[in-house]
Amino acid sequence: MSTFHPDLARGRFIPNVSVGRLSSRIVRSRKIRPTDPGTGVTVQELVVPGPKDAPSVSLRVFQPTGLKAAAPALLWIHGGGTIMGAPELDDRTNIAFARELGITVAAVRYRLAPDHPAPAAVEDAYAALRGLAERAGDLHIDIDRIAIGGASAGGGIAAALALLAHDRAEIRPVFQLLLYPMLDDRTTTRTDLDTLKVRLWTPKSNRYAWSSYLGDAVAGPEVSPYAAAARREDLTGLPPAWIGVGTLDLFHDEDVEYARRLSDSGVPCDLDVVPGAFHAFDLVFPKAEVSREFWRRQARALEGALWADRK
Amino acid sequence: MASNRPVALVTGASSGLGKATAHALVEAGFDVVGTSRKTSGSTSSGGVTFLALDVTSDDSVSSVVQQVIERFGRIDVLVNNAGLGIDGAAEEISVAQAQRVFDVNVFGLMRMTKAVLPHMRGRGRGRIINISSLGGFVGNPFMSVYIATKHAVEGYTESLDHEIREHGVRVLRVQPGPFNTPFDANSVQADTPVPVYARQRAIYDEVTQEQLRGGDDPAVIAKVVVAAATDRKPKLSYPAGSLAPRLKVLRRILPARTFDKSVRKFNRMTA
């Protein structure tokens, strides 16, 4: 594997610890401080009906202040291996999307594994998507221009949500923005990986997360594509995608492979491989130039998909 | 329009305590939006932006909260001040009339609270200040309905404060005693007078008039509201003025029978 990106050289000193039952529980119990969006963007916590026989779903909604006309929206799904995390994790980038692109960003607070294994997370995300469409009127959302996106496990859930939305054919998201998505549970059984320089998400964490989400089915023959999107054979008809991943990411191979399969199935897909970048590098070093550029590329991809008429 | 000053929304701000509170908040550095039923459209006076609001209407409440967020980008403090007074023996007030008072004093406050909470919870900060009363923790003859509304506000406030503290939001109550405002003129009259109460009611009216004349200046109470809005470590309850803090202590230390007697004596009731 390659060496660390020069902007991320400090990442060398991040200890390669893994998460397990206890540590993920501790992380879960910590509340992440919300970021004040300042002026220009307003935030509110909306509650929408949940999936069938499940509790309602909460959305953290950022909107440009004084939004009056229908504008596009992004449904955002946070990361954390399906076992940790909260929408507040990505406040900074979500606020920036809302401010710079003039769109509504709704980050879903989905149920976490192992207390709520698959398909709880993706069903919650679907309920969130439907909730946004139902409240499109008072939120000023153009339902024909809703993108979905997420990072890490959230990227995986977003990819699965794209499949679910395609199959149910009720609401059609127009774009999927996938940041180093967690797509394939079969990566847990790979033994050929050189993971010395992998940071933040180790094979051990990956095994614990996938088995929390899928239970005993992990890496077996019976895994639903709505839980691990890479399991899907037929990728035709999906919305265009942007996939970004670093070369030092455990998910590098599965993400590159998914991008290739999307392209082969006729789905327009931009693949952005960042040399020497590890998992979630943009969260750990948000001020590094490579992280800023990573965000700008996402913003450009979203702008192209959602504001095609502006160009 | 949007600035970095904190934003406060005060209901019932056209007169009395609401007006004094709105001006005190402006002085304390807030952008203040005041609401009242009587304002037509949006006007501005003394640094306070006025909006028309009927707290008994769901639509009016949600539209005003939306407007404030759109114009100022945020709401840091909500002061639930709008309220009605009603005097009269319990028997003299019809249930329908009591319901109308509850619709303003209690359900109006709940409507406002529920409308701003999604926003405050989203920001992880905010303060809701409910104007309760001395009548929130002490009973008094010929004020049963009014005092029932204020007891409801007390319980709602204390319970809700526990629920949303972990989301960075505090709900507090300010408990003024009698103070000198046209509140009495805004009071509703009992709609079904019963003659047997007439004599005692006349005495009550006299006592109340005395009390209000010698009551606190609303500016004193407004200062306490500002303290509740800005204290770094806020308290759940802010008894305000000259009478309420003392009565609060007395209620706590006096034996129930003694306290009961003193209320009766105060209202010049027999035995």
User: What one-character DSSP code corresponds to residue B216?
Assistant: B
Give the pLDDT score at B183. Answer: 55
Mean pLDDT of chain A: 94
If pLDDT is split at 50, 70 and 90, which confidence band does A274 have? very high
Residue B49 in 3-state DSSP? strand
The single residue listed with the structure tokens 């847990």 is A188
What angle, 0 to 180 degrees and rounded to 10, lies between the N-to-C axes of helices B95-102 and B144-164? 40
pLDDT at B99 over 70: yes
Identify which of B73, B125, B166 has the shortest CB distance to residue A39: B73
Q: State yes or no: is B132 an active-site residue.
A: yes
* pLDDT band at A301; cut points 50, 70, 90: very high
Q: What is the pLDDT of residue B42?
A: 60
Name which of A34, A61, A66 is nearest B124 (Cβ-Cβ): A34
- CA-to-CA dists, residue B135 to B140, B146, B192, B242, B247, angstroms: 7, 8, 23, 14, 11
Q: Is the pLDDT of residue A196 over 90?
A: no
B125 touches chain A (CB under 8 A): yes
For chain B, what is the mean pLDDT?
92
Helix (H, G, I), strand (E, B) or coil at B84: coil
Q: Check pLDDT > 60 for residue B148.
A: yes
How many angstroms separate the CA atoms of A253 and A39, rounded? 41
B7-266: CATH topology is Rossmann fold (3.40.50)
- Tell me the average pLDDT across B7-12: 96
Label the pairing between strands B48-52 and B43-45: antiparallel
Dist CA A36 CA B95 (whole Å): 46
Q: What percent of chain A has pLDDT over 90?
A: 83
Note if B187 is an active site residue: no
Which residues touch A288 (CB under 8 Å, ≥6 apart)?
A7, A8, A281, A282
List the single range of A68-82, A270-284, B39-53, B202-216 with lowest mean pLDDT: B39-53
Cis peptide before A114 (omega within 30 of 0): yes
Residues 16-55 of A with CB under 8 A from B: 31, 33-34, 36-47
Q: What is the mean pLDDT of residues B245-254?
A: 95
DSSP class per residue in chain A: --PPPGGGGGGGGS------HHHHHHHHHSPPPPPP--TTEEEEEEEE--STTS--EEEEEEEETT--S-EEEEEEE--STTTS--GGGGHHHHHHHHHHH--EEEEEE---TTTS-TTHHHHHHHHHHHHHHHTHHHHTEEEEEEEEEEETHHHHHHHHHHHHHHHH-SS--SEEEEES----GGGGG------TT--SS-HHHHHHHHHHHHGGGTTSTT--TTTSGGG-S--TTPPPEEEEEETT-TTHHHHHHHHHHHHHTT--EEEEEETT--TTHHHHSTTSHHHHHHHHHHHHHHHHHH-GGG-
More confident position, B185 or B6: B6
Mutate to test the interface with A, among B1, B62, B69 (most CBs of A within 10 A): B69
Q: Predicted confidence band at A66 (pLDDT cuts at 50, 70, 90)?
A: confident
What does the domain layout of chain B look like in residue ranges? 7-266
| Residue A100 banded pLDDT, cuts 50, 70, 90 | very high
What pLDDT does residue B112 have?
98
State the pLDDT at residue A128: 98
Residue that has been written with the tokens 């952005």 in this structure: A272
Query: What does the pLDDT look like over A105-136, one tens digit per residue?
Result: 999 999 999 999 989 999 999 999 999 999 99
pLDDT level of residue B229 (50, 70, 90 thresholds): very high
The partner residues of A245 in beta bridges, in order of sequence, read A273
- Strand pairing partners for B31? B7
Mean pLDDT of A182-189: 95
Backbone angles phi, psi at A282, to 5 degrees: -75, -20
B3/A42 Cβ within 8 A:
no
Cβ–Cβ pairs < 8 A, chains A and B: 49
Task: List CB contacts of A112: < 8 A, sequence separation 6 or more.
Answer: A28, A80, A82, A83, A84, A85, A121
Q: What are A202's two structure tokens?
A: 């180790």
> Distance between terminal CA atoms of chain B?
61
Strand partners, A41: A64
Q: List CB contacts (< 8 A) between A45 and chain B.
A: 118-119, 121-122
B6 contact residues in A (CB cutoff 8 A): none
Distance CA A125, CA A103 (A): 19
- Cβ neighbors of B193 (< 8 A, separation 6 or more) are B88, B92
Higher-confidence residue: B39 or B144?
B144
Question: Taking 80 as the threshold, does the pLDDT of residue A195 lie above it?
Answer: no
Q: What sign does the dihedral A37-A41-A45-A49 (CA atoms) show?
A: negative
Rounded average pLDDT over A175-191: 95
Give the bridge partners for A64, in sequence order.
Answer: A41
Distance of CA A289 to CAs A181, A285, B81, B114, Å? 22, 9, 50, 42
> B19, B36, B144, B146: which is the annotated catalytic residue?
B146
pLDDT of residue B179: 85
Burial of A64 (0-12, 13-18, 19+ CB in 10 A): buried
Other CB atoms within 10 A of residue A283 CB: 17
Q: How confident is the model at residue B4 (pLDDT cuts 50, 70, 90)?
A: confident
ipTM above 0.95, yes or no: no
Residue burial A27-61, b: 16+ Cβ < 10 Å; e: rest: eeeeebebbebeeebbbbbbebebbeeeeebbbbb
Q: Bigger pLDDT: B7 or A200?
A: B7
Which of A297-306, B145-154, B209-218, B234-243 shows the lowest per-residue confidence on average (mean pLDDT)?
B209-218
The pLDDT of residue B257 is 95
Contact B74 A42 (CB under 8 A): yes
For residues A91-126, b (16+ Cβ closer than 10 Å) or e, as one string?
Answer: bebbbbbbbebbbbbbbbbbbbbbebbbbbbbbbbb
- Crossing angle of helices B109-123 and B144-164, in 10° steps, is 10
Please answer whether residues B186 and B85 qualify as being in contact, where contact means their C-beta atoms are separated by less than 8 angstroms: yes
Residue A224 CB partners (closer than 8 Å, separation 6+): A118, A119, A231
Lowest mean pLDDT across A30-39, A253-262, B117-126: A30-39
- The residues of A annotated with a catalytic role in the active site are 152, 249, 279
Q: Of the candidates A121, A108, A126, which has an alpha carbon nearest to the alpha carbon of residue A213?
A: A121
> Among B19, B36, B132, B237, which one carries the catalytic annotation?
B132
**Does B5 contact chain A (CB < 8 Å)?**
no
List pLDDT tens digits, range A227-252.
999 999 999 999 999 999 999 999 99
Phi, then psi, of A297 in degrees rounded to 5: -70, -40
- Tens-place pLDDT, residues A76-96: 999 999 999 999 999 999 999
Q: What is the pLDDT of residue A311?
A: 57
Tokens of residue A156, six digits: 């995986």
Query: Tokens 């207390």, residue?
Result: A115
Distance from CA of A33 to the nearest CA of B (A): 8
* Domains detected in chain A: 6-306 (3.40.50.1820)
